[in-house]
Homo-oligomer: A and B are copies of this chain.
Amino acid sequence: MKTYLDCIPCFLKQALKVSRLITDDEVLQEQIIQQVIKLIGQLDFTQTPPAIAEKVYELISTLTKCADPYFDIKKDSNRMAMDFYPKMKELIKTSSNPLETAIRLAIAGNIIDFGAGIDANREIIQNSIEDSLQYNIPQPILDRLQSSITKAKNILYIGDNAGEIVFDKLLIEELLPKKITYVVRGKPIINDITLTDAIETGMNDLVQVIENGSGASGTILEDCSPEFIQHYNDADLIIAKGQGNYETLDREGKGIFFLLKVKCPIVAQSTNCKMGSSIIVEK
């Protein structure tokens, strides 16, 4: 997905949010924003939003020498999501269609997205769970995903955010004992998952976890490591979580299943779905 002009105010909002997370010094915050404005004025908007966002966050990291501003928030999100785990596991176990319930929960977890301006707390997560469980996801796409899962031998599961990874774990447990590779980002950006989150939530005890070699809040193939590309090419089913992966992989034509909550008007427009929708897109 290309960057729309509507994304520009959003980049600035995100820059301001992360600046305030890093420092209380309003002078420094203003200096950061001034630099971000200069940078945005020089960028090529034919790139995807995560490609632009990466440059914005990189600049802020360089200016503030803070490599991982969302470190504490990611830890909190993992902890919060793990608190929800037993109840969700029970929901899946007692469901008449455990796989579908696990898919719906994996989508629900995508609400934990600090880049999209939602500061997910317990209440927001609980609402997202309730909403996704009953959301009107069209039966044909649910059937196609479930039948693709049944046929698949080698699944690449591209994760998205801290906390959300716990919801992914529930779905992955339903997919086992198939061969599954779970992908995390190569470097910290926003509240996106890195290897640290995979270790913290025990994802690495469940399946192979690989880094994609890039620091974008999505999957920019040309920036990814050869190891990731090998897995990407070898997989017979790719599941990708969240807006960032959708924005960067929607034009690859790989038949990827994107599982996400629609949290911005531009993604809403691109997917032809309402804000707040729980959706599966095959592209």
Q: A34 near B41 (CB under 8 angstroms)?
A: yes
From A6, which residue of chain B is reached at the shortest CB distance? B16
Q: B16 near A5 (CB under 8 angstroms)?
A: yes
CA distance A163 to B6 in the complex (A): 28
Contact with B along A68-86 (1 / 0, CB 8 A): 0000000000000000000
Tally of A interface residues using CB under 8 Å: 19
Contact with B along A5-43 (1 / 0, CB 8 A): 110111011001001000000100110011001101100
Contact of A41 among B6, B13, B16, B41 (CB under 8 A): B41
Q: B5 near A9 (CB under 8 angstroms)?
A: no
Which residues in B have their C-beta under 8 angstroms from that of A10? 9
Residue A228 is within 8 A (CB to CB) of chain B in the complex? no
CA distance A33 to B43 in the complex (A): 12
Which residues in B have their C-beta under 8 angstroms from that of A41? 34, 37-38, 41
Which residues in B have their C-beta under 8 angstroms from that of A45? 30
CA distance A163 to B30 in the complex (A): 37
Interface residues of A (CB under 8 A from B): 5-6, 8-10, 12-13, 16, 19, 26, 29-30, 33-34, 37-38, 40-41, 45
9 contacts between A and B (CB under 8 A): A8-B12, A8-B33, A8-B37, A9-B9, A9-B13, A37-B40, A37-B41, A38-B41, A41-B41
Kindly list the 9 A-B residue pairs having the minimum CB-CB distance in the complex, ordered from nearest.
A9-B9, A9-B12, A37-B41, A9-B13, A5-B33, A5-B16, A38-B41, A8-B12, A37-B40
